[in-house]
């Protein structure tokens, strides 16, 4: 994909399982309560593969890769 | 300052609403739809200098334009669900001048070619019977059907996506939406949410034109707005004032002893504390308050007296706000009680040396991580308190300041 992508967390679905941080540690960390802290902005090209794995791994489908909308 | 009477023109002191005939006598005839009505309203509203009055101050004409451009018939949602505990202005406006709001509802809805409009108010709101009566009175003249949506008396029930969800029959909880609601709502058609005061202002603007509208207020922020002014020693007052009115004048207008003011919370529970004496001379505009590190918000102006403790007052508000979490999002559900608890320890003189660092960390962890801006509002309040009451923070770290919270913030007591 050539358009920049961002990782969007559906906060209502997220239950803090933490699998996403396992799959994409370079862009996803976990806060004090086990919830994902996603690095802001576009996912770097080198991390896209891991980002896609994180999306697949989430047991509650809370993660999504979305194109960044131009302002 | 003689109070201008535009939004509150003709309204009674005894609290009874203006009926339809009295409304027409005060404001002129109801705006009647014509052929090409939607396009005509769009043209007249394009570029109108109307800022939203629900708290965010977003340009209302821009939000409507997003709805116009969506290519689908939208839904107008009038937000009268005044969840902000310190604010009384929306309920007062609906109670005293419901038809001005409902004129704006019709015109905004017609500009969207909407099939229906929704007016949302909280369960148990005093204005509910007045609203139903007013809708009944104008049933034969309204072209867009209006229904009243009663939402639970919770803070988040008045959040835009929660209203959109409830309007579609869902629960009154914030919803995920990757595009603005005005562009694509929860059932794919545009859902434009506008505060009831915004809609009343829109009705005045369309009736009298931009020149008249701009005779009061400032060049960049024309018009008037409703304020709720509070302090521990005065009765809460709703007043109308031109934009640009200095904080000092608004306080004096409500009988607040300006010399006794230590700090002012402007905006509401989502707002920021600003220190006296500098705050007193600030004009009440979005621009001036943002430049000062605050926000106009929902027009709430709370004065804290010198004998009161801003940290204690803020700790009470933070605990209340933590309890109002919709409990959908982990960072909010966990982070707000942590912030409230930390502030309570600080207020009680019991915090550890690392407490301030923890409070900062928790603020950073809740900001921007959730389905709505509830947690962001709390962090703005908390950070501003820690900055403005820095001397008290130091005193509390040594045991306390000896002053009570006061009642200015009107934090609701939770019934156990």
The fraction of chain B above a pLDDT of 70, given in percent, is 99
Residue range A12-56, pLDDT digits in tens: 999 999 999 999 999 999 999 999 999 999 999 999 999 999 999
pLDDT at residue B278 in the model: 97
Residue range B65-95, pLDDT digits in tens: 999 999 899 999 999 999 889 999 999 999 9
Cross-chain Cβ contact A14/B330 below 8 Å:
yes
pTM over 0.90: yes
Reported confidence tier of residue B27, pLDDT bands at 50, 70, 90: very high
The fraction of chain B above a pLDDT of 90, given in percent, is 92
**Region B129-158 average pLDDT:** 96
Which residue in chain A has the smallest CA separation from B358? Answer: A32
pLDDT at residue A2 in the model: 72
Q: Are B318 and B381 in contact (CB under 8 A)?
A: yes
Phi then psi dihedrals of residue A68, to 5 deg: -80, 125
The chain B residues in contact with chain A (CB within 8 A) are 173-176, 178-179, 328-331, 334-335, 338, 361-362, 365, 369-371
Residue with tokens 């962090």: B379
**Helix B98-111 vs helix B196-213: crossing angle, to nearest 10:** 80
pLDDT at residue B211 in the model: 98
**What is chain B's mean pLDDT, rounded?**
95
Report yes or no: A49 at the B interface, CB cutoff 8 Å.
Answer: no
Report yes or no: A8 at the B interface, CB cutoff 8 Å.
Answer: yes
pLDDT at residue B45 in the model: 97
Reported confidence tier of residue B353, pLDDT bands at 50, 70, 90: confident
Which residue in chain A has the smallest CA separation from B326? Answer: A12
For testing contact with chain B, the best of A8, A12, A61, A70 (most B CBs within 10 A): A12
Closest partner CB to A33 (pick from B175, B328, B334)? B334
The per-residue b/e assignment along A26-54, b for 16 or more CB within 10 angstroms, e otherwise, is: ebbeebeeebbbbeeeebeeebbebbbeb
Report yes or no: A60 at the B interface, CB cutoff 8 Å.
Answer: no
Report yes or no: A14 at the B interface, CB cutoff 8 Å.
Answer: yes
Cross-chain Cβ contact A35/B176 below 8 Å:
no
pLDDT at residue B351 in the model: 83
Reported confidence tier of residue B276, pLDDT bands at 50, 70, 90: very high
Chain A residues with beta carbon closer than 8 angstroms to that of B362: 32
**Region B204-221 average pLDDT:** 97
Rounded to the nearest angstrom, the minimum Cα separation between B357 and chain A is 14
Please choose, from the candidates B107, B109, B125, the residue with its C-alpha nearest in 3D space to the C-alpha of residue B117.
B109
Q: What is the ipTM of this complex?
A: 0.92
Beta bridge partners of B246: B283
Residue range B291-349, pLDDT digits in tens: 999 999 999 999 999 999 999 999 999 999 999 999 999 999 999 999 999 999 999 99
Cross-chain Cβ contact B331/A31 below 8 Å:
yes
Question: Cα–Cα distance between B235 and B111 in angstroms, integer?
Answer: 40
Chain B residues with beta carbon closer than 8 angstroms to that of A37: 365, 369
Say yes or no to pLDDT of B416 above 70.
no
Say yes or no to pLDDT of B258 above 80.
yes
pLDDT at residue B167 in the model: 97
């Amino acid at each position: 994909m050539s358009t920049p992508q961002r990782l969007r967390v559906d906060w209502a679905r997220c239950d803090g399982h933490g699998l996403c941080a396992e799959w994409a540690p370079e862009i996803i960390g976990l806060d004090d309560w086990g919830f994902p802290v996603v690095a802001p902005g576009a996912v770097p090209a080198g991390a896209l593969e891991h980002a896609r794995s994180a999306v697949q791994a989430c047991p509650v489908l809370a993660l999504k890769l979305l194109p960044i909308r131009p302002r | 300052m003689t109070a201008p009477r535009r939004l509150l023109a003709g309204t009674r002191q005894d609290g009874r609403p203006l009926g339809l005939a009295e409304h027409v006598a005060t404001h002129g005839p109801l705006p009647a739809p014509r052929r090409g009505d939607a396009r005509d309203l769009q043209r007249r509203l394009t570029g109108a200098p109307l800022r939203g009055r629900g708290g965010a101050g977003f340009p209302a004409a821009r939000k409507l334009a997003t709805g116009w451009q969506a290519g689908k018939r939208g839904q107008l949602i009038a937000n009268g669900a005044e969840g902000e505990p310190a604010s009384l202005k929306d309920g007062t406006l609906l109670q005293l001048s419901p038809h001005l709001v409902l004129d704006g509802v019709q015109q905004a809805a017609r500009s969207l070619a909407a099939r229906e409009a929704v007016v949302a108010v909280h369960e148990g709101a005093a204005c509910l019977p007045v609203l139903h009566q007013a809708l009944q009175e104008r049933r034969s003249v309204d072209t867009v059907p209006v229904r009243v949506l009663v939402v639970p008396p919770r803070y988040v029930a008045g959040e835009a996506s929660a209203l959109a969800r409830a309007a579609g029959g869902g629960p009154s909880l914030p919803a995920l939406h990757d595009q603005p609601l005005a562009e694509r709502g929860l059932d794919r058609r545009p859902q434009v949410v506008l505060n009831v005061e915004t809609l009343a202002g829109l009705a005045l603007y369309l009736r009298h034109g931009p020149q008249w509208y701009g005779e009061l207020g400032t060049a960049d922020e024309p018009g008037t707005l409703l304020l709720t002014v509070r302090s521990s020693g005065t009765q809460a007052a709703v007043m109308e004032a031109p934009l640009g009115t200095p904080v000092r004048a608004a306080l004096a207008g409500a009988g607040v002893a300006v010399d006794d003011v230590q700090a002012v919370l402007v905006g509401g529970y989502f707002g920021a504390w600003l220190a006296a004496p500098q705050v007193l001379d600030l004009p009440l505009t979005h621009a001036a308050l943002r430049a000062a590190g605050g926000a106009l918000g929902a027009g709430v102006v709370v004065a804290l007296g010198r004998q009161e403790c801003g940290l204690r007052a803020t700790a009470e508000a933070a605990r209340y706000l933590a309890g109002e979490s919709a409990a959908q999002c982990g960072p909010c559900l966990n982070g707000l009680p942590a912030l409230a608890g930390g502030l309570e320890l600080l207020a009680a003189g019991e915090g550890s040396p690392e407490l301030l660092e923890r409070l900062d960390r928790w603020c950073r962890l809740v900001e921007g991580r959730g389905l709505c801006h509830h947690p962001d509002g709390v962090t703005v309040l908390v950070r501003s308190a820690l900055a403005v009451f820095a001397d008290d923070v130091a005193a509390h770290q040594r045991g306390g300041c000896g002053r009570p919270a006061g009642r200015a913030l009107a934090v609701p007591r939770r019934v156990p």
